[in-house]
Amino acid sequence: MKPPLHVDQFVQHYPRLIHARGRLIISAGMPTDQAYYLISGRAHAKSHPKPKSRMGKDFAAGDMIGFVSFLALDHYDLDIMASSACEVLAIPRHVIENHWGKEDIASWLFACSMASEVVKKQQPVMMGFAI
């Protein structure tokens, strides 16, 4: 997913993480207190017993990694592994929320609500929801 904000302004202020090929960038269960933007490289959702609709997701430079989970959940729900050497920007949740909210708080709330609906539809059994 492409970022909903201009990432260039964050690059100088927040940590860049370097991940070797085969290393986890995001582990299922990590808190969604940071969003991850893929500056360079490629990443892939690691296969394990999760709903098939969420598996096989590839990420390339310029993508937000696991952004739907970031918006909708308290913890990431998938393992995301580096498919190549990756440089990743970690942006704290409050920075994204404040930046997005300055323009229009309703759009932040709408995005979180829409992401929650996506998660509910993709994971009804795991989340305890019926479809």
More confident position, 11 or 43: 43
β-pairing verdict for 24-26 and 80-82: antiparallel
Residue 122 pLDDT > 70: no
3-state secondary structure of 34: strand
- Note the pTM of the prediction, 2 decimals: 0.74
pLDDT of residue 119 exceeding 90, the answer is: no
Q: Does 56 have pLDDT greater than 60?
A: no
Q: Are 70 and 32 in contact (CB under 8 A)?
A: yes
Residue, of 25 and 95, whose pLDDT is higher: 25
Comparing 7 with 124, the larger pLDDT belongs to 7
- For residue 46, give the nearest of 31, 32, 56 by alpha carbon: 56
